[in-house]
A and B are shown apart, each in its own frame.
Chain A
Amino acid sequence: MPLLDARDVHGGYGGMNILNGVNMTIEADEIGVIVGPNGAGKSTMLKAIFGLLHVSQGEILLRGEPIQNLPPNKLVQKGMGFVPQEYNVFPSLTVKENLQMGAYLKPGNVKRMLARVYEFFPPLYDKRHQPAGELSGGQRQMVAMGRALMAEPDVLLLDEPTAGLSPLYMNEIFERVKEVNAAGVGILMVEQNAKQALAIADKGFVLAAGQNRFTDTGAALLADPEVAKSFLGG
């Protein structure tokens, strides 16, 4: 049974449909990457999965159980984590407090998961008593991912985790994503840096105008001349 299975998802804001039948499947140990031009509905799809957007048609299954239109806190309990692209930390809370908030529903987890998150992101340990708002963009992204990991999710949704980061930090974040995935967390992420992201992807979904244009393994998409020409900038 796939970990996450979205079938023919339609949805949008206030009557305006942005998603016109998107299909996505990832298995428990996979990294799925969503790429595509601006306005294709990439981030919208993540929000629809995480219950932040009304799904008007189609279904989303988490381990076979329908979860479409459940509120976010229910989805966190069911093992889903979401890292928004912007405003993804609590700026006035310290790094440690940010992480603690991630395990709000599982207070028993805090001690054990704090140690694990510090293992994944060593820079956070040194800055644990600093307000998250004072950190650099890359470190803030680590706090955001760490916060989502605190609840021990089975699947982590990342919305453009490398947006606005320097190439150095970008590589670092991709490395961390691979490590988190290797530790048994399924990943579904939206990325602007399509080539790099598809390189670490088990599955790639190229969206355009709210529909799947290409769906294949990451490597196959990178090798496809048509995908390269239209979506990866040659």
Chain B
Amino acid sequence: MNELVFFINNVVIAGSVTGSIYAIGAVGVTLIFSIMRFAHFAHGDMMTFGAFMVLLLTTLFPQAGAAIGVPTPLIMLPLAMVLTAALAVGIDRAFYKPLRAHGVKPIVLVIGSLGVTLMLQGLIRLFAGTGGESLYVDDRKEIFRLALPIEGVRVPVVITEPQLYLFVLTLVAVVGLHFFLSRSRLGKAMRAMSDNPDLAQASGINTNTIVAVTWVIAGGLAAIAGTLLSLDVTFKPDLSFFLLLPIFAAAIVGGVGHPYGAIAGGFVVGFAETLAVFNWSVLLRPFRDSLPEWLSLPGNLAFVGTEYKIVVPFFILVVILVWRPTGIFKGKVI
């Protein structure tokens, strides 16, 4: 039973954490693609920027949360979402909109977004330095240890405070997005523009408004994902390097242009990663005695070492692109 708890801690919880972060990021990438038809490489840095804004605000007002009994970074998150959304709209106005106005090919926008990546990372480094920073400036990170009421189980299920917030916020974001896209006039117009931009325009839908709304949503979600990841581990200016590949893998696995597919894809990639680095030897340990003599159980039995975790989304990406380029939900091909 202890092994099962170990599995819950290291796969179920860890996988849900990474999956949630990838899912929220991938939704942004997929929405941007479905409206503007280009792969936005600077998305990871919008996540970093959101987390950086939280760090900045928390450092400035470290006591803000104590008054209500909530960690300060969480209080600052809505403000950081607004700032990141504003940054996203601003970047679009300054860099992508002029390119679109010239009617360039999507690849030009992709390369442009690569430039934005480097610019954002440089800016964040300039202010935050190159090292890691904890977002918990004045608060303590609560860790909950839930002992299972089963005899012989010594290992508790461990879940941290930011992880709980992550699950709640992911749920809220997904449900909110669903209602926005399926019920609201603007959400439907967004889907309409994704389906057929010319007809959307012929129906009188203002495509500039839809583009701006897309950036606001993608920016706000990016801030959530970046902040929650930084809360779970630490804030680093180069977070995006570890996020970009899995997020694009998630968007493509789900079917590019499908928000629900991106959510599913995020969890597929997140769980694939955790399962690949999980030490399966632990689960096999109870059966150690019944194994034949010539087969001894190694101490570490994982598909890949933790340091090579990044190959997993890369592998998934290659497999999907070769065998099912439209993804699970039959999206568009990048």
Contacts and interface: CB of A to CB of B under 8 A. Distances in A.
Interface of A: 50, 52, 71-73, 76-77, 82, 84, 87-93, 97-98, 100-102, 104-105, 107, 147, 151
Interface in B295-319: none
Contacts of B205: 73, 101, 104
Contact of B202 (A77, A84, A91, A97): A84
Nearest to A90: B195
B211 interface: no
A15 to B, nearest CB: 16
A93 B188 contact: yes
Main secondary structure of the interface of B (DSSP, over half): helix
A90 B204 contact: no
Contacts of B188: 93, 97, 100-101
14 contacts: A73-B202, A73-B204, A73-B205, A82-B202, A84-B202, A90-B192, A92-B194, A93-B191, A93-B192, A97-B192, A100-B188, A101-B192, A101-B203, A105-B204
B204 A91 contact: no
10 smallest beta-carbon distances between A and B, as pairs: A105-B204, A76-B204, A90-B195, A73-B204, A90-B192, A72-B202, A101-B192, A101-B203, A104-B204, A104-B205
Contacts of A147: 203
Given A71-B201, A93-B188, 5 more contacts: A72-B201, A72-B202, A90-B200, A93-B191, A101-B200
A71 B208 CA distance: 14
Interface in B203-257: 203-206
Contact of A104 (B195, B196, B198, B203): B203
A82 B203 CA distance: 8
B204 A88 contact: no
A76 B195 contact: no
A88 B202 CA distance: 10
B159 to A, nearest CB: 38
A102 B192 contact: no
Contact of B185 (A72, A82, A107): A107
Contacts of A87: 196, 198-199
Contacts of A77: 204
A98 B203 CA distance: 10
A52 B197 CA distance: 13
B189 interface: yes
Given A104-B185, A107-B185, A90 B202 contact: no
B236 to A, nearest CB: 38
A50 B199 CA distance: 12
A73 B199 contact: no
A103 B201 CA distance: 12
Contact of A50 (B192, B195, B202, B206): B202
Interface string B154-196: 0000000000000000000000000000000100110110111
Nearest to A107: B185
Given A93-B191, A100-B188, A107-B185, A151 B204 contact: yes
Contacts of A104: 185, 189, 203-205
A89 B204 contact: no
A198 B206 CA distance: 36
Nearest to B182: A97
B198 to A, nearest CB: 7
A71 B196 CA distance: 17
Nearest to A133: B195
B196 A76 contact: no
Contacts of A100: 185, 188
Contacts of B196: 87, 89-91
B139 to A, nearest CB: 44
Name the residue in B192, B201, B203 with the highest tally of chain A Cβ atoms < 10 Å from its Cβ. B203
Contacts of A92: 191, 194-195
Given A73-B204, A76-B204, A147-B203, A101 B198 contact: no
A76 B202 contact: yes
Contacts of A82: 202
A108 to B, nearest CB: 12
Name the residue in A50, A71, A87, A90 with the highest tally of chain B Cβ atoms < 10 Å from its Cβ. A90
Given A90-B195, A92-B195, A76 B203 contact: yes
Nearest to A98: B192
A76 B205 CA distance: 10
